[in-house]
Structure 1
């Protein structure tokens, strides 16, 4: 086995073992202090959608400009 493959397999082995990852990840969360209202939910979902779909929409709206060769 070449040296670089041995190095890659040695580095990747811990990441491929599931128990090694779950033992390191020790995140603890608590329930929220207050309930979210409908306005907060709508604003949050709207911002999330804008962040995901905004760049894609911009590219599709300006597709003809990107096709032009200068």
Structure 2
């Protein structure tokens, strides 16, 4: 019985979700950029982003042996 009721409500929820997504899409618009971004600026920004992502991971990887040597506090 519950499976029958669950099956009946799913199409309604799916229809509502599609309606919400369509409403949100309709408010999106775009214009041409005010300032063009050159290749140098793109490379610089991508480099900064890569460094921001990789430096913390590298620091953690470098210090893993120290973390392993630490004794765990008693519970």
TM (normalized to structure 1)? 0.58
**Cα deviations by residue, 1:4-63 (Å, 9 ceiling, x for unpaired):** xxxxxxxxx58x813313414523332211221222111100111112222211111111
> Which residue is 2:55 aligned to?
54
Aligned residue in 2 for 1:20 = 20
Aligned to 1:35: 36
- Count matched residues: 58
Equivalent residue for 1:7? none
- Greater gyration radius: 2
TM (norm. structure 2) is: 0.56
Structure 1 runs not aligned, ≥5 long: 2-12
Tell me: higher relative CO, structure 1 or 2? Use CA pairs within 8 A at least 6 residues apart.
Answer: 1
